[in-house]
Chains A and B, each alone.
Chain A
Amino acid sequence: AQTVTQSQPEMSVQEAETVTLSCTYDTSESNYYLFWYKQPPSRQMILVIRQEAYKQQNATENRFSVNFQKAAKSFSLKISDSQLGDTAMYFCAFVPGSNDYKLSFGAGTTVTVRA
């Protein structure tokens, strides 16, 4: 079974600053995919960024980037130049390549961007 752990229940960041969210996972699979999803208050969940385990290069999407450490089974998300609209719950999620229908989510990290 796969588990995803997010150890930071809440994070607060000043507008325009940088915040890093941590995520660790446990799996015996060699091929898998990792995701960060954003769930704004009372709004639907959207994909922020994805990472394929077979790729060594860290994924980047505009102000969002990841630090993927496969050996350490770590997948952190960095939000640069934080904006008020980044305020949301962020979930780290994992899907195995061998059985790629079941997303396993972490408990989430609430990010609050202060003006």
Chain B
Amino acid sequence: ETGVTQSPTHLIKTRGQQVTLRCSSQSGHNTVSWYQQALGQGPQFIFQYYREEENGRGNFPPRFSGLQFPNYSSELNVNALELDDSALYLCASSLVGGLHNEQFFGPGTRLTVL
């Protein structure tokens, strides 16, 4: 069974740039959720994708957008980067109808915005 993977591991961008983060879900999972974890804080829900559609969104501006592909992998795109976007971005996959929608997390992408 393949776990959740994310790429890249680390990324450095400058303010105003755009970034794309990628996530491959765990084998058999059909749902991907994205979280932002600022240093020393708990993760904050960004959005979830199910069947290639956004299935719920947290309190993040529209410059945070995503995609889910037919193979259930996903991308998180952030436009017009701001310094406060510096964080660990976590992807989690789950199976709709699975055990309490238990989410399995990837190792994260550390984004630094200068």
Please give the residue numbers on chain A whose beta carbons come within 8 Å of chain B beta carbons, in ascending order: 4, 6, 33, 35, 37, 43-47, 50, 52, 91, 93, 95, 99-108
Contact = CB atoms under 8 A, between A and B. Distances in A.
A108 B41 contact: yes
Contacts of B40: 107-108
Interface residues of B, number: 26
Contacts, number: 58
A33 B55 CA distance: 19
B8 interface: no
6 contacts: A37-B105, A43-B107, A44-B4, A44-B107, A46-B105, A95-B100
B45 A107 contact: no
Contacts of B42: 4, 6, 91, 93, 105-108
Give me the 7 closest cross-chain CB pairs, A-B, nearest first: A105-B42, A45-B105, A44-B107, A100-B101, A101-B48, A33-B100, A102-B45
Interface of B: 4, 31, 33, 35, 40-45, 48, 50, 55-56, 58, 90, 92, 100-108
Given A44-B108, A91-B43, A102 B58 contact: yes
